[in-house]
Each structure stands twice: as C-alpha cells, then as structure tokens.
C-alpha cells in the first residue's frame, strides 16, 4: 500500500455522508490520473486530492485516526492511506502540539492537499484516455465520553479520470 504524499492543488467539490454525526467532502470530485513521472515528482501513476473536509456534529470531540482511499477493479488497484501519525500533517489546522487531530463538536474541518502516488493502474497508451475509476474516501475517528470509546466513520466518493 502507498502512503499519502503532500502537495498543493486546485479545488472542486463533492459530497457524501455515511455517518449521522459526521459528514465529509472530498475534492476535486473528479481528479485526473497523472500517468507519467514529471521532473522528480511522485511515483506515477498518481492523483491529487485538494482536500478532505466536513462537519462534525457530535456532542464530544472527534479524534481523527485514519484516512483511506480505495478501489479495486480488473485494471486497477487504488490504495492510499494515512494513519494517526500522519493526521497532524494532513489536518494541520486541527492538530494539537502532541500531534493528534481533534475536531470540536459542531465544527467544520478541512485537510491540506495531498498526493496518492504509485497506484496500480493499467495505463492506456492514449494520452487522452480517461479512466473513470470510482474511489471511496473513508475518514475514521473516535469519540469518547470518558467511559467508553465510540468509533465514527464517514465515506465520500470520487471518480478518477
């Protein structure tokens, strides 16, 4: 599996919800698959996600634990992830001095742009080819009332072009 690299990119929006208290967006909704290495850039093929963000409407703070992008098909295998030690770089606006990322109740949040590189995609020799690869973006976190820990998850969809 490939880890997330960080970069800057353009912004477009897409929205999907999967959990009652957590709504997430992933943008752009249709990132472009870059199939060739460009001047010491990320391992191709790769795509850029401008941001993952959303709103946390729970009553307790949400600690973000992982971000996963995945898709499986005949001509591709997309896996891009970041775990708790990477969260402070992706969600740096919400990071504490200890490196954990906590979202206060009833607030919005957004990530920095990042690159998903070295993906397993059968690349077409046609430079104008489109790939239409559906990818699920999953944000996983936990919330606690001091007595128990409750996992929280939300999904969004993007389609790699």
DSSP string, 70-134: EEEETTEEEEEEE-TTTHHHHTGGGB-TTS-EEE-TTEEEEPPPEEE-S-EE---S-TT----EE
What value does the mean pLDDT take over residues 86-103?
A: 89
Three-state SS for 143?
strand
- What confidence tier does 19 reach under pLDDT thresholds 50, 70, 90? low
- What confidence tier does 4 reach under pLDDT thresholds 50, 70, 90? low
What percent of the chain lies above the pLDDT cut of 90?
A: 60
In this prediction, residue 97 carries a pLDDT of 85
What is the sign of the dihedral through the CA atoms of 7, 112, 84 and 22? negative
Q: Is residue 100 a contact partner of residue 88, using CB atoms and an 8 Å limit?
A: yes
Q: What are the distances in angstroms from CA 96 to CA 20, 100, 103?
A: 26, 6, 10
pLDDT 10s digits, 119-159: 999 999 998 899 999 999 999 999 987 777 899 999 999 99
In this prediction, residue 143 carries a pLDDT of 92
Q: Is residue 88 a contact partner of residue 94, using CB atoms and an 8 Å limit?
A: no
Between CA 135 and CA 73 the distance in angstroms is: 10
In this prediction, residue 15 carries a pLDDT of 31
In this prediction, residue 154 carries a pLDDT of 94
In this prediction, residue 29 carries a pLDDT of 93
In this prediction, residue 7 carries a pLDDT of 36
Task: For the chain, list the domains and their CATH numbers.
Answer: 2-160 (2.60.40)
In this prediction, residue 12 carries a pLDDT of 28
Between CA 44 and CA 116 the distance in angstroms is: 9
What value does the mean pLDDT take over residues 40-50?
A: 86
pTM of the predicted structure, to 2 decimals: 0.82
């Amino acid at each position: 599996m490939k880890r997330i690299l960080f970069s800057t990119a353009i912004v477009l929006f897409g929205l999907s919800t999967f959990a009652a208290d957590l709504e997430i967006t992933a943008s752009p909704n249709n990132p472009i698959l870059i199939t060739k290495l460009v001047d010491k850039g990320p391992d191709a093929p790769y795509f850029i996600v401008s941001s993952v963000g959303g709103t946390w409407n729970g009553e307790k703070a949400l600690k973000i634990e992982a971000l996963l992008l995945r898709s499986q098909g005949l001509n591709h295998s997309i896996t891009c992830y970041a775990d708790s030690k990477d969260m402070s770089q992706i969600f740096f606006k919400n990071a504490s001095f200890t490196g954990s990322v906590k979202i206060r109740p009833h607030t919005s949040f957004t990530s920095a742009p990042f690159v998903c590189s070295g993906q397993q995609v059968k690349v077409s020799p046609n430079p104008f080819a489109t790939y239409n690869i559906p990818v699920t973006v999953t944000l996983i976190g936990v919330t606690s009332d001091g007595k128990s820990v409750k996992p929280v998850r939300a999904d969004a969809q993007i389609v790699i072009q």
